[in-house]
Structure 1
């Protein structure tokens, strides 16, 4: 069988030189989305037969931005669809409480999503809370 490529080692070296920087750029882009002046957290606190979810934003420097906090579930006892959002400010050393909900924990499973936007960049957090007690 005839070989189309006369120097396969050179072709592989050339591909490596092209693909390694492309991979590095993809890694940098991913890291840039998760690193910034702010980060988010969904704090889950069991309270007897209830569960409390609190949306928090932390900041490395004084920032302001917007947030969207969404909690939903569907189960035998009904469904939940809660949307909270608006503007916020945060500073180092003091997390900003963005929103909170207290829900029935008996047998329910909740999907919570928080998106924080600061300086035109969005940071997201998500959590699934199994409320079975």
Structure 2
């Protein structure tokens, strides 16, 4: 009987090593916030060993504004510091992609922040992506 218990522990450990990273990528926070006619979102899409982070804006009406998208990490192999920004236009019915980055998903932890300014009002979104090793 102890043999079965050891085997079960090994199987559980192996599953944990497989499922925890997959779960971490699958449940990465998609953060969003809204004010007035605009809502922002940071969307994380894992695929293979990479993750795509997209800065998105949704609008209830035609709007124009500015955005700042910042992605940062520190880790064993160095750090990441990415800044994107500029002017944008958004219309109802389809999200406007403001910026996008593709990153290594294996063991990396990334903090993403998006700030959107429209009609003199600012909103921000933040997400932490990754964390599994």
Q: Which of the five TM-score ranges fits, normalised by the shorter chain?
A: 0.7 to 0.9
Paired residues, number: 101
Q: CA deviation at 1:132?
A: 2.8
| Residue of structure 1 in register with 2:75 after alignment | 75
Q: Is 1:55–1:114's contact at 8 Å kept on the other side of the alignment?
A: yes
Q: Name structure 2 gaps, 5 residues minimum.
A: 1-32
Cα distance in structure 2, aligned partners of 1:34 and 1:99: 18
Q: CA deviation at 1:34?
A: 4.3
Cα RMSD for the two superposed structures: 1.4
Q: Which has the larger radius of gyration?
A: 1
State TM-score, norm by structure 1: 0.73
Cα distance in structure 2, aligned partners of 1:90 and 1:59: 6
State TM-score, norm by structure 2: 0.73
User: What is the 5 A alignment of 1:24-39?
Assistant: 34-39=34-39
Cα distance in structure 2, aligned partners of 1:126 and 1:58: 16
Q: Which runs of 4+ in 1 moved over 3 A?
A: none
Indicate the structure whose relative CO is greater, using CA pairs within 8 Å and at least 6 residues apart: 2
Cα distance in structure 2, aligned partners of 1:115 and 1:35: 12
| Residue of structure 1 in register with 2:50 after alignment | 50
1:106 aligns with 2:106: yes
Cα distance in structure 2, aligned partners of 1:35 and 1:49: 35
| Residue of structure 2 in register with 1:90 after alignment | 90
CA deviation string 1:26-85 (max 9, x = no partner): xxxxxxx94311010001000111000000000010000000000000000110000000
Specify the SS of the correspondent of 1:94.
Answer: coil
Specify the SS of the correspondent of 1:85.
Answer: strand
